Amino acid sequence: MTAATPRARPPIRPDWWSKSLAGTLLGFTLAIAISGLFAWAGPGGPGALNKIQFNMWMVAPVWLGVVSFCFLFRSGLRAWLWLGGANLLAYAALHAARTLAQ
Amino acid sequence: MRADIVRLYRTVHSWTGIVTGLILFIAFYAGALTMFKEPLERWVTPPSAVTPLALERADELIAATLALRPNAAKDFTLALEHGDGGVAGEQPLRLIWEAMRYDPAPWSATLQPDGTVGIEQLDPSGVGMLVDIVHRTVGIPGDLDIGTMVTGVASALYVVALVSGVIVLLPSLVKDFLVLRVGRNLKRMWLDAHNIVGIVSLPFHIVIALSAVVFGLHDQIYDALDEAVYGGRMRAVMMESSPFRAVRKDPTPAAMLPPTEFLARAKALSPDFTPIALEYHDANTRSATVRVWGRDPRHLVRREGFVLMSATRGTIIDTEYMPGHQGSWSAMVSAFFALHFGSFGGGVVRWTYFLLGLAGAFLFYSGNLLWIESRRRTERRAGGPVTQSRSTALLAAGTVGVCLGCVGGLSLTIAAGKWLNGLVTDLNAWHYGVYYAVFLASCAWAFARGAARAGSELLWMAAATTAAIPLTSLLALAVPGLGLWASADLIAVDLVALAGAAGFAGLARATGRRVQQGPRDSVWSGIASPVGMKAAE
């Protein structure tokens, strides 16, 4: 936002259903992808002993972090678009990491 | 912080809070009690005749038992201690095995004085188990998985409630922190108390909430990971991390080392490790293994850790679950478990967790009260008599019935254990019966009588049932003919119950006064307002 636009930012639309659903569903799939990225490309690589349990534990904070903060999106539509985009990126990266590791 | 964000998150906080408040109250109250479930278990169990453990005869017991029950050789446990360190009196050396996986009633063998082996089926699930089940499932009957999933989902909402609560509080945190405004504005006081408890115990709540999500929903999370990350190969990946990954099955008969040898090797590995059990697998074969289970309060471990050894050669096979000898990933995951269970640091942490658990229960109770209070219709604003909305009346009744029903049910089922032990054949079923009877009756009572009257009546009930615990012990001492008993080393159970009963009685008195003398435009008033009377006609 530049100084030339003095008008205030539009208020955040609540869009409860849309945002909650986006956060819960896309937040979960995003958390799974990030956990998977950590599993394949993170420290220790895919074969580290007992890392699989740690990977699973990671899902909860990432997922619920997204749910908690998804209400900050200015609208439900924006929540779906941003989180959907993040999912696309994360799964593309996961796919690349798996291909490289195998 | 922008005002509209705070407003938004106030809505998030009140909805996540109101949906989960009652579930979390039960989980926290019962969870606080689980910190002391072994003493509770011993409190309801009569002290048995003292036969000291005879470890040097363990070989004889194992051989004689396996001769009688060869099927047990696949997996059995030699218990070295019973309950919480065996303080209630040493018990005979015992072999325990399960007829099936997760057998609720495993089998047990002990050496009799005449040298023969006595085999019996155990029924270990007593009051400690009940408290634990209520903690994990909030008392939802039926399949354990359903109740666990409900607490898992509630815990997920609870994480969101925590984050949103902190966001709502942030702008006024510096100004209001640790300020408790006691005064005419009761809502302000409840809000201050709610905020103080919430902020002070925030780290505890974050840890408990996130780990409870994992405990409740790990099956679903693993399924999703298997699908999306491991391409359906997750079982295989897990097996590669199993402590048994290097053990090749070899059914050739082979002699095993004596139990004392395994204990000596565990001690050599870790001098501060206190063994509590030896778990054998494929006994008397070349691939026989033994897990030396034990505790070490200096480390963040799951309730217990173990070292895996070859039972024939005594070589150490795996230490991934051994306190202080774990790999980094395993150690981190163990730390998450330990932080939920409070199974580190000994007594100080146990008591701290107990108190934090009770404080958590208060947090959810006060949250519900605030929800009701912020929807209150006041005479001042309405300019005349008012009736409270149906939703606040119902939530008030539900809060009182569920919370106090859980408190009273747990107290009474503990006290009843001492009376019923030895009198009834299925003590476990009786424990459940007593708990559910009190819980359901309290809920019904609260809705039938209305929140105001039921509030003080059920608090008196909670005080009476909790007082029944020390009174039972007192009766045991005063009237020996009753067949009850009391042990001096469990006096803490009686004293804590006494303090709890006194607390509930104090609350009951205060609540009773409010019903009579409190402002009439409140859901907690026993004096029906004129409008309410008219509506009822």
Mutation for B interface: A28, A57, A91, most B CBs within 10 A: A57
Beta bridge partners of residue B77, listed in sequence order: B96, B279
Best CA proximity match to B31, nearest among B336, B251, B350: B350
Q: Which of B128, B158, B182 is the endpoint of a domain? A: B128
Residues in chain A: 102
B246 in reach of chain A (CB within 8 A)? no
Give the mean pLDDT of chain A: 90
Would A8 be classed as within a structural domain? no
Residue-wise pLDDT tens digits, B263-322:
999 999 999 898 889 999 999 999 999 999 998 888 887 778 999 999 999 999 999 999
Best CA proximity match to A59, nearest among B399, B156, B25: B156
Which of 289-348 (B) contact A at CB < 8 A? 320, 327, 329-330, 332-333, 336
Backbone angles phi, psi at B485, to 5 degrees: -150, 160
pLDDT of B3 above 90: no
pLDDT of B185 above 70: yes
Are A48 and B330 a contacting pair at CB < 8 A? no
Instruction: Give the pLDDT confidence score for residue B481 in this predicted structure.
Output: 79
Residue-wise pLDDT tens digits, B405-464:
999 999 999 999 989 887 888 888 899 999 999 999 999 999 999 988 999 999 999 999
A17 in reach of chain B (CB within 8 A)? no
Of B9, B156, B240, nearest to A71 by CB-CB distance is B9
Position B178 confidence tier, pLDDT thresholds 50, 70, 90: low
Q: Give the number of domains in chain A.
A: 1
Would A36 be classed as within a structural domain? yes
Position B26 confidence tier, pLDDT thresholds 50, 70, 90: very high
Instruction: Give the pLDDT confidence score for residue B385 in this predicted structure.
Output: 78
Instruction: Give the pLDDT confidence score for residue B536 in this predicted structure.
Output: 38
Would A2 be classed as within a structural domain? no
Instruction: Give the pLDDT confidence score for residue A2 in this predicted structure.
Output: 44
pLDDT of B529 above 60: no
Instruction: Give the pLDDT confidence score for residue B252 in this predicted structure.
Output: 92
Name the residue range of residue A57's domain: 16-101
Q: Which residue has the higher pLDDT, B488 or B434?
A: B434
Q: Tell me the three state secondary structure of residue B2.
A: coil
pLDDT of B104 above 90: no
Instruction: Give the pLDDT confidence score for residue B27 in this predicted structure.
Output: 97
B432 contacts: CB under 8 Å, gap ≥ 6: B130, B413
Mean pLDDT of A59-84: 96
B383 contacts: CB under 8 Å, gap ≥ 6: none
Instruction: Give the pLDDT confidence score for residue B113 in this predicted structure.
Output: 75
A-B Cβ pairs (cutoff 8 Å, strict): 99
Q: What share of chain A is helix, strand, coil (3-state, %, to 5)?
A: 75, 0, 25
Give the mean pLDDT of chain B: 87
Low-confidence winner among A45-59, B159-173, B508-522 (lowest mean pLDDT):
B508-522
Would B104 be classed as within a structural domain? yes
The ipTM is 0.90
Share of chain B above pLDDT 90, in %: 52
B234 CB neighbours in chain A (<8 A) are 52
Low-confidence winner among B182-186, B221-225, B395-399 (lowest mean pLDDT):
B182-186
Low-confidence winner among A33-37, A90-94, B341-345 (lowest mean pLDDT):
B341-345
Q: Which residue has the higher pLDDT, B97 or A66?
A: A66
Q: Which of B88, B104, B128 is the endpoint of a domain? A: B128
Mean pLDDT of B155-173: 92
Burial B139-163 (b: 16+ CB within 10 A, else e): bbeeeeeebbbbbbbbbbbbbbbbb
Position B110 confidence tier, pLDDT thresholds 50, 70, 90: confident
Q: Which of B128, B158, B176 is the endpoint of a domain? A: B128
- For chain A, give the longest Cα–Cα distance: 57
B236 CB neighbours in chain A (<8 A) are none
Low-confidence winner among A29-43, B301-315, B381-395 (lowest mean pLDDT):
B381-395
Instruction: Give the pLDDT confidence score for residue B91 in this predicted structure.
Output: 63
B228 in reach of chain A (CB within 8 A)? yes
pLDDT of B89 above 70: no
Position B93 confidence tier, pLDDT thresholds 50, 70, 90: confident
Position A8 confidence tier, pLDDT thresholds 50, 70, 90: low
Name the residue range of residue B76's domain: 43-128
Instruction: Give the pLDDT confidence score for residue B82 in this predicted structure.
Output: 54
Of A49, A56, A71, nearest to B241 by CB-CB distance is A49
pLDDT of B479 above 50: yes
A69 CB neighbours in chain B (<8 A) are 163
Best CA proximity match to B92, nearest among B128, B127, B119, B72: B119
**Could you tell me if B504 and B457 are in contact, meaning their C-beta atoms sit under 8 angstroms apart?**
no
pLDDT of B103 above 80: no
Instruction: Give the pLDDT confidence score for residue B494 in this predicted structure.
Output: 94
Would B482 be classed as within a structural domain? yes
Q: Rounded CA gap, A63 and B15, in Å?
A: 19
pLDDT of B85 above 50: no
- Give kind and range of the element (H or E) at residue B77: strand B75-79
B495 in reach of chain A (CB within 8 A)? no
Residue-wise pLDDT tens digits, B193-207:
899 999 999 999 999
Q: Give the number of domains in chain B.
A: 2
Write out the two tokens for B324.
């202080």
Position B533 confidence tier, pLDDT thresholds 50, 70, 90: very low
